[in-house]
Amino acid sequence: MITLEVSLGERSYPIHIGTGLLDQTELFRPHVRGQHAVIVTNETVGPLYAARVQASLAALGKTVRTVTLPDGEAFKQWETLNLIFGALLSAGADRKTTLIALGGGVVGDMTGFAAACYMRGVPFVQVPTTLLSQVDSSVGGKTGINHPLGKNMIGAFHQPNAVIADIDTLRTLPERELAAGLAEVIKHGAMADAEYFGWIERNIRALNACDPDIMALAVKRSCEIKAAVVAQDEREGGLRAMLNFGHTFGHAIEAGMGYGEWLHGEAVGCGMVMAADLSHRLGFIDIETRARVVQLIRAAMLPVVAPELGTDRYIELMKVDKKAEAGSIKFILLRKLGAAFITTVPDPDLRATLQHAVLRPPTEAPVA
């Protein structure tokens, strides 16, 4: 087992990465201090892993209740969130009740938001079961839900007590979900660590095959990068925005297509292709660097051609973004591999990238 720390003073917490962690009762003991625990999971993950987490908590003498949510990004909204609140209220949950987020990014975000809101804040533990959630969304305390006009626009910062990432859970991921997680792995290399980006290029076949040793190294390095950024900028005052490389375009794709049509990682992967194109168009990176980004996204089995939403529609959607200020869209671009920065861009260059992004060369495969 590998253990990292997110350093936030008195609110610091560990990230445990390894195999067989769901059954390690002692990992949960320091982080579930009250008598009651509520596992929040979904219809897909619950049948696979909820009983094991229940057993670990019961071995500590905890009273455990499970809330099962519908599965999918389309359900990351108020009605589903109220299922969690209803379960907590009907169970008489108090301020010492600990919520356990057992699932991917949607479950983690909603459980964290519920924990931030219920009684104005109760503890929660992240137990991520997808690659995307293990390398990104479970770390850092961003919680929230979607609105039809914008992704993750309603939420709160609420740090978990711990993150327990069991690599074994990745074995049950569909290929599409695994690829979606690789988008966030690639993102960390592209925006923060050129050497890591090169390592991903050399090991992409093993990552596609979910080799446990290689995957554990990818989860570790991605978590190290994110934890370091969060420790310096917990509430996204500046530096943390760099973690959104590819996300301004990606969130527009998700909202424009309808949440759930494209997985978050698929949209972010294509968004990184678009951000690399814009970085090249503005003269920050050379054509070889742009090509490396596109080739790695393609090698990870992610789409590299954007859906045709219309240029004006893309711009309208991107204006509803947490980084936007006074209607001005902010983009995370690359100065070089491993060095991201935030900026506004000239409208003609943005429109040129958007138009180029939806063109499919004759040799290009259809969008995944």
Catalytic residue among 226, 280, 298, 322: 226
**What is the SS3 assignment for 145?**
strand
Output the CA torsion sign for 358, 362, 364, 367.
positive
Choose the catalytic residue: 52, 240, 313, 356.
240
Task: Say whether 316 is catalytic.
Answer: no
DSSP per position, 27-62 = HHGGG--SSEEEEEEETTTIIIIIHHHHHHHHTTT-
Identify whether 147 is a catalytic site residue.
no
Q: CA distances (Å), 33 to each of 57, 179, 279, in order?
A: 11, 36, 48
Catalytic residue list contains 264: yes
Whether 356 sits among the annotated catalytic residues: the reply is no
Which of 36, 188, 251, 330 is flagged as catalytic? Answer: 251
142 is catalytic: yes
> Degrees (nearest 5) of the Cα angle 74, 133, 19?
135
- Beta-carbon contacts of 29 under 8 Å, excluding residues fewer than 6 positions away, are 60
Residue 62 falls in the annotated catalytic set: no
Q: Are 189 and 196 in contact (CB under 8 A)?
A: yes
Nearest to 64 by CA among 72, 53, 75, 76: 53
The catalytic position among 177, 184, 254, 266 is 184
Q: Looking at this protein, which amino acid is placed at residue 342?
A: I
For the beta carbon of residue 146, count every other beta carbon within 10 angstroms.
Answer: 23
Which entry of 236, 281, 298, 330 is annotated as an active-site residue? 236
Catalytic residue among 120, 202, 235, 288: 120
User: Using CA atoms, how far apart are residues 53 and 245, in angstroms rounded to an integer?
Assistant: 34
Catalytic (active site) residue 240: yes
Residue written as tokens 């814009």?
Answer: 278
Kindly give, in sequence order, each residue whose CB lies less than 8 Å from that of residue 158, ignoring residues fewer than 6 positions away. Answer: 112, 113, 115, 116, 121, 124, 141, 143
Q: Of 244, 281, 290, 298, which residue is the catalytic one?
A: 244
Could you tell me whether strands 36-42 and 63-69 are parallel, antiparallel, or unpaired per DSSP bridges? parallel
Catalytically annotated residue among 76, 142, 151, 292: 142
E strand or H helix at 6, and its extent? strand 2-6
Cite the active site residues.
Answer: 120, 142, 184, 226, 236, 240, 244, 247, 251, 264
